[in-house]
Structure 1
Amino acid sequence: MIGVGLLAAGATWGLAFAPADFKQGNSYRIIYIHVPAAFLALAGYYVMAISGAVGLIWKMKLADMVMKCAAPIGAALTFVALFTGAVWGKPTWGTWWVWDARITSMLVLFFLYLGVIALQEAYQHQDTANKASAILALVGTVNIPIIYKSVDWWYTLHQPATLKLTSESPIHPSMLYPLLVMIIGFYVFYAWVLLVRTRQEILEREKKTRWVQDIAKAEG
């Protein structure tokens, strides 16, 4: 699979062959997991919120399913971003956790994902669960630009963004290229996992239909 190949190549390149940082030494290598996970946590929230909006406005069942399936994936990625950030913060800041603007807003993102997951399980009727989840997801989008701009709007321990579309990255190419490979790998892997989970959700919801029963017989 392309995603797994990119992740394996990027991880090997970044963890084994990229040079050590002149200030942070080898501790900086956590960025090869932390940065892609954080990117996907934010991008995945937009996927979830947009799917929720489509389901809420146009009553598309497939969009509701994508929203539901995107929530646990996004929660897992946000947890990975928070955990790896704490691992990096200990040798860098001398503590596992600080109530930094970027870190705190990422924690809020994690709770928003958990909120959508909880709402999906809280209601007996799926339509009600979808509507409540979509509303929460849409309201929560206000947190995404806060996360992006938190390092610019407030004094924070978290370093400013090092990957920018409008300017050259300060990261040396020998460190940047494996990071870009990891980011692309994370995106591909995310898309694959979302498609697989959505397919499973479709089959589960439509299990009483003839076409799903035919698929089950063919695969069985």
Structure 2
Amino acid sequence: MWNWFYQLASPKWFYEISARLIPWFSGIMLILFVVGLVLGLLMSPADYQQGNTVRIMYIHVPAAYLSMMAYMVMAITGAIGLVWKIKMAHIVSVSCASIGAMFTALALLTGAIWGRPTWGTYWIWDARLTSELILLFLYLGFIALHNAFEDKRTADKASAILALVGVVNIPIIHFSVEWWNTLHQGATLSKFEKPSMDIEMLWPLLIMIFAFKFYFFLTLTLKVRAEILLREKQANWVKKLVEQTGR
């Protein structure tokens, strides 16, 4: 187990093994997206209150879920990099930032589109919406802070600390609908309670969540590989790779 862990910490080993994962991530993601979108947009029933507007949730809920998941991956790998001085951990952490920001922006945008016919406004300073907006600012702050330093090691440490400080916002986002009186509806899916939706809506939603997850894994893998090449450009194995590719 520890041998595998140390192998994973090697940029060269990760770059080589990740090439085998990309086709799998791509294929599974495409299948899940096609099935999820067909079931969700064409075959699932309309909501008795929201009508066809409810179909926005097949994009909004997975995007909101991945916005928090990506941040946790970013913070955890940043912490691993700080404690164990593992370069690959920082590379993964940095690579998560722009992906997480994209998911957060998508969640806010689809939420606004859903909110107009449902609440009568695109935006309200609701606890869930406000904390999700703060999450977007945390991602952007992470990216800006990392880019503010020329030395990669200093940038990695500073941005990892910011990510760890920002973790406090994740439970606020998740529990905001329970802690405060908000317009935003409660959790659709829960580990401890029966899902509050029809099974014909639940399955497409679960499929779309997994589709978004595989999109995250695919995009993260591609960004990590690009970051490895950028940081290891002076390494002999990268130079040989460039020579082989250029032939």
TM interval, short-chain normalised: over 0.9
1:36 aligns with 2:62: yes
Of the three residues 63, 70, 90, the one matched with 2:89 is 63
Q: Residue in 2 aligned with 1:115?
A: 141
Deviation at 1:95, TM superposition (A): 0.2
Deviation at 1:77, TM superposition (A): 0.3
Give secondary structure in 1 for the equivalent of 2:132. helix
Give the residue type in structure 2 aligned to 1:169: P
- Please give the TM-score of this superposition, normalised by the length of structure 2: 0.88
1:139 aligns with 2:139: no
Deviation at 1:169, TM superposition (A): 0.4
Is there any run of 5+ residues in structure 2 with no aligned partner, and where? 1-26
Q: Residue in 1 aligned with 2:218?
A: 192
Q: Distance in 1 between matches of 2:243 and 2:51?
A: 56
1:21 aligns with 2:47: yes
Q: Distance in 2 between matches of 1:36 and 1:8?
A: 15
Q: Residue in 2 aligned with 1:4?
A: 30
- Please give the TM-score of this superposition, normalised by the length of structure 1: 0.98
* Larger displacement relative to structure 2 (72-81 or 161-170): 161-170
Q: Distance in 2 between matches of 1:206 and 1:136?
A: 25
Deviation at 1:219, TM superposition (A): 2.9
Runs of 4 or more off by more than 4 Å in structure 1? none
Q: Deviation per CA, 1:112-147, whole angstroms, max 9, x where unpaired? A: 000110011101111111111011000000000000
1:179 aligns with 2:205: yes
Q: Residue in 2 aligned with 1:164?
A: 190
Q: Residue in 2 aligned with 1:45?
A: 71
Deviation at 1:218, TM superposition (A): 2.6
Is there any run of 5+ residues in structure 1 with no aligned partner, and where? none
Give secondary structure in 2 for the equivalent of 1:177. helix
Deviation at 1:217, TM superposition (A): 2.5
Q: Aligned-pair RMSD on alpha carbons?
A: 0.8
Q: Distance in 2 between matches of 1:172 and 1:215?
A: 52
* Larger displacement relative to structure 2 (41-50 or 203-212): 203-212
Give secondary structure in 1 for the equivalent of 2:237. helix
